[in-house]
C-alpha cells in the first residue's frame, strides 16, 4: 500500500505506454472493487466501464480515438460511460435498506418518488449533465486506484462518441464521458510535471 499523498502526486497522465504489457482481469477487478465506493448522487452509481483489451476491438477504438498511439500501446482502453437512466435504479438500490429495516416501507416509497421526480422534472439536459458529473467522479477514483496498484493511466476526450458507440454497442441512454488508457508508462522521454497554480490562485473563501 502506498500513502495517499504519494499516489496523488505520482499520478500523471501517461503520454506513452510500453507496448505489450498485459493487465489481468484480476488486477482490473481489484481496482474496480475500490472504484465502486466512488460518490454518486443519491447513491445511484451512474457509471459503467467498458474495458477493451481484445486486439480487434481495440483497433476499432483506436480508429474512433483519431488514431492516438497511446490507445494502441495501452494495456487496455477503457470507455467511461454515464447513465442518463440511473435514477430508474433507485428502487433496487434501496431494497437492501428496506429489507434490513434501516428504512420503512413509507420511507422507501418516498425515496423512490422524490428521486424519480427530481430527475424527471429537470429533463434530458439535466440527466445528461448528471451522467457526466457522476461518471467523472468515478473515473478520477479509478485513476487513483490504478496508480496505487502500480498502473499508469491517461484520460482522453479525443474520440468520436458516435463511432465509439457503434464500435462497442453502447445503448443510447449512456453518455460516453472519457476514454482512459491504462498500462505501464514509458518514462524514457517523460517531461517534467506541468505548472500547477498556487492554492490562492484557484481557491476563494466565502466569495469569489
Say which DSSP state 52 is in: E
Phi, psi of 82 (to 5 degrees): -115, 135
Contact of 49 with 142, CB cutoff 8 Å: yes
The span from the CA of 78 to the CA of 154, in Å, is 10
Q: Going by C-beta distance under 8 Å and a sequence separation of 6 or more, which residues neighbour residue 196?
A: none
Reported as a single tens digit per residue, the pLDDT across 37-74 is 999 999 999 999 999 999 999 999 999 999 999 999 99
**Helix (H), strand (E) at residue 144:** helix 105-148
The span from the CA of 82 to the CA of 11, in Å, is 23
**Mean of all residue pLDDT scores within the chain:** 97
Grid cell locating 43: 447513491
pTM over 0.85? The answer is yes
Amino acid at each position: 500500500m502506498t500513502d495517499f499523498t504519494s499516489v496523488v502526486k505520482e499520478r500523471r497522465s501517461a503520454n506513452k505506454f510500453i507496448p505489450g504489457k498485459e493487465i489481468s482481469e484480476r488486477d482490473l477487478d481489484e481496482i474496480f472493487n475500490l472504484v465502486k465506493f466512488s460518490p454518486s448522487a443519491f447513491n445511484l452509481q451512474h457509471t459503467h466501464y467498458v474495458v477493451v483489451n481484445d486486439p480487434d476491438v481495440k483497433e476499432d477504438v483506436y480508429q474512433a480515438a483519431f488514431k492516438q498511439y497511446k490507445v494502441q500501446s495501452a494495456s487496455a482502453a477503457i470507455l467511461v460511460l454515464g447513465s442518463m437512466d440511473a435514477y430508474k435504479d433507485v428502487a433496487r438500490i434501496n431494497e437492501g435498506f428496506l429489507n434490513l429495516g434501516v428504512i420503512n416501507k413509507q420511507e422507501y416509497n418516498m425515496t423512490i418518488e422524490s428521486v424519480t421526480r427530481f430527475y424527471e422534472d429537470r429533463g434530458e439536459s439535466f440527466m445528461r449533465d448528471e451522467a457526466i458529473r457522476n461518471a467523472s467522479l468515478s473515473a478520477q477514483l479509478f485513476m487513483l486506484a490504478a496508480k496505487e496498484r502500480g498502473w499508469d493511466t491517461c484520460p482522453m476526450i479525443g474520440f468520436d462518441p458516435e463511432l465509439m458507440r457503434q464500435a462497442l454497442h453502447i445503448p443510447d441512454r449512456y453518455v460516453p464521458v472519457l476514454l482512459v488508457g491504462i498500462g505501464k508508462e514509458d518514462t524514457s522521454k517523460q517531461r517534467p510535471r506541468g505548472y500547477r497554480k498556487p492554492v490562492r490562485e484557484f481557491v476563494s473563501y466565502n466569495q469569489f
